[in-house]
A = this chain, B = another copy of it.
């Protein structure tokens, strides 16, 4: 886990404000769940590998004293994503929520991974989810809204890759995998980008899947991927001809409609493509899945999918659900490399004075007036090395510095040295 310094925090705040503004215009509303959930919820959530990475919270008082064995020591855990808590939230609060619910969630999640370059054990996710809409119209909207948010951050050349778990399931069945073991196939295929074909094959064979099925699966995916770029409709149609019997016609129709409609509306700087090898790591996906890539970046910056059965496990009746999660840390690191998510900032003015000044009240009053007129005003005591102090202030964007003289007037330094306030302020010597 790590600290965020002020310069990065300013970029994070501006990026988040931009994303929230776009999502808000699409009618999504913010909600919030606690960081801590019952461990039983988190460990029964089909969260794939992430379930192994939960930070567990020790029981307290008598409950701790009466715990027998390591397994009984913890009762709560830090959430590893925002989707599982959302399902619990919906099951708990649905009677008081808009129907369908279009929710925005922003917040930290925790995974007890070994720290590695660019990955942290606490990181922020930024999700939108539509609960209560079975139609692929929901996916089209998620893709367009997320694309618009990412484009508003000036991220160049976005590609949204789309697949459907049921299509990937059809490929796997066609290759000869057992229906009951498809979840482990998806988790392995999800690592294709990271570990390559040989790595995926090794994981699948180590898990006891037949070698022949592994070879056929990887062959089918390679073949379909090659046909992919540029002609999503054609690639989809060919795969459907090959596997049609393995998945319902409606699945293919919906996937085609998502890719075609979202692609046509995506606007400049954003493509929507069919990616038959896209798998996503979570166990809970049931339908369309998607990931966003950005030119020149080896990892995806957003991802999501449909999880129609998760809420049913908590509520007792299924509620269709689909969501898109922005990898906020990755987006921020891109923005930092590229020089920030530029928004206009108010002018910054520093007022510098000696600690024991009898004119403190006048300085405070002037600061108040300058803030009223929209400026950021920093009060600073004069340091032992004023020259260096003024340099530091200028480096932090305080281009205008007013130094209090003994008589209560101000000497202005730096750019735009004249103040528009006639009472205490005097124009004076430059830097």
Contact with B along A102-121 (1 / 0, CB 8 A): 11000010101000000001
Contact with B along A55-69 (1 / 0, CB 8 A): 111101000100000
Give the residues from 232 to 264 in chain A that come closer than 8 angstroms, CB to CB, to chain B.
261, 264
Interface centre among A4, A99, A103, A140 (most CB of B within 10 A): A4
Nearest opposing residue in chain B for A27, CB measure: B378
Q: Spot the interface stretch: A32-40, A187-195, A217-225.
A: A32-40
Q: Is the pair A36, B122 in contact by a Cβ cutoff of 8 Å?
A: yes
Nearest opposing residue in chain B for A30, CB measure: B9
Q: Spot the interface stretch: A90-98, A196-204, A287-295.
A: A90-98
Nearest opposing residue in chain B for A103, CB measure: B6
Q: Is A144 in the interface zone, CB < 8 Å from B?
A: yes
Q: Is the pair B27, A377 in contact by a Cβ cutoff of 8 Å?
A: yes
**Across the interface, which residues of B come within 8 angstroms of A108, CB to CB?**
34-35
Q: Is the pair B34, A3 in contact by a Cβ cutoff of 8 Å?
A: yes
Q: Is the pair B122, A35 in contact by a Cβ cutoff of 8 Å?
A: yes
Q: Is the pair A32, B9 in contact by a Cβ cutoff of 8 Å?
A: yes
Q: Is the pair B381, A26 in contact by a Cβ cutoff of 8 Å?
A: no
Q: Is A424 in the interface zone, CB < 8 Å from B?
A: no
Bound CA span A324–B389, Å: 25
Q: Is the pair B24, A376 in contact by a Cβ cutoff of 8 Å?
A: yes
**Across the interface, which residues of B come within 8 angstroms of A207, CB to CB?**
none
Q: Spot the interface stretch: A157-165, A167-175, A269-277, A359-367.
A: A359-367
**Across the interface, which residues of B come within 8 angstroms of A103, CB to CB?**
6
Give the residues from 323 to 370 in chain A that come closer than 8 angstroms, CB to CB, to chain B.
346, 348, 350, 355, 360-361, 364-365, 368
Q: Is the pair B73, A58 in contact by a Cβ cutoff of 8 Å?
A: yes
Q: Is the pair A34, B140 in contact by a Cβ cutoff of 8 Å?
A: no
Q: Is A49 in the interface zone, CB < 8 Å from B?
A: no
Bound CA span A264–B360, Å: 11
Bound CA span A350–B26, Å: 10
Q: Is the pair A31, B2 in contact by a Cβ cutoff of 8 Å?
A: no
Interface centre among A34, A70, A133, A376 (most CB of B within 10 A): A34
Q: Is the pair A379, B33 in contact by a Cβ cutoff of 8 Å?
A: no
Q: A79 CB to closest chain B CB, in angstroms? A: 11
Q: Is the pair B4, A31 in contact by a Cβ cutoff of 8 Å?
A: yes
Q: Is A371 in the interface zone, CB < 8 Å from B?
A: yes
Q: A37 CB to closest chain B CB, in angstroms? A: 9
12 inter-chain pairs at a CB distance below 8 angstroms, sorted by A residue, are: A9-B30, A9-B32, A24-B346, A27-B348, A27-B376, A34-B122, A36-B110, A55-B57, A56-B57, A135-B381, A144-B364, A265-B365
Given A35-B108, A137-B379, list of 6 further CB < 8 A pairs? Answer: A5-B96, A6-B103, A9-B30, A34-B108, A56-B57, A98-B396
3 pairs of A and B residues whose beta carbons are closest in the complex: A27-B378, A1-B34, A4-B32
